[in-house]
């Protein structure tokens, strides 16, 4: 699958085996940035709304699962 960017062939290829565990450090740095840097009120409201929506989805999934193994595949 080719990218539709004009210089796509010059972009560096990032393979999963070269950076297997980059997600956790990025999340830690993003969390620290949110604590240190000022965030606009609108963005805080959006994060709060997303947090409540995700919590409701998890709650509804746990209520409607018949077996614990069904929740493990969530």
- Summarised one tens digit per residue, pLDDT across range 14-70 is 555 566 688 889 999 999 998 899 989 999 999 999 999 999 999 998 888 888 787
CA atoms within a 13 Å half-sphere pointing along the CA-CB vector of 52: 5
Number of H helices and number of E strands within the chain?
3, 0
**Burial status of residue 33 (CB atoms within 10 A of its CB: 0-12, 13-18, 19 or more):** exposed
pTM: 0.54
CA–CA separation, 73 and 59 (whole Å): 15
**Contact between residue 42 and residue 50 where contact means Cβ atoms under 8 Å apart:** no
């Amino acid at each position: 699958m080719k990218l539709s960017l004009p210089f796509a062939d010059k972009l560096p290829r990032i393979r999963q085996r070269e950076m297997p565990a980059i997600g956790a450090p990025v999340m830690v740095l993003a969390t620290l940035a949110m604590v240190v840097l000022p965030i606009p009120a609108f963005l805080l409201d959006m994060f709060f709304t997303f947090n409540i929506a995700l919590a409701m989805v998890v709650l509804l999934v746990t209520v409607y699962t018949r077996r614990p193994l069904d929740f493990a595949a969530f």
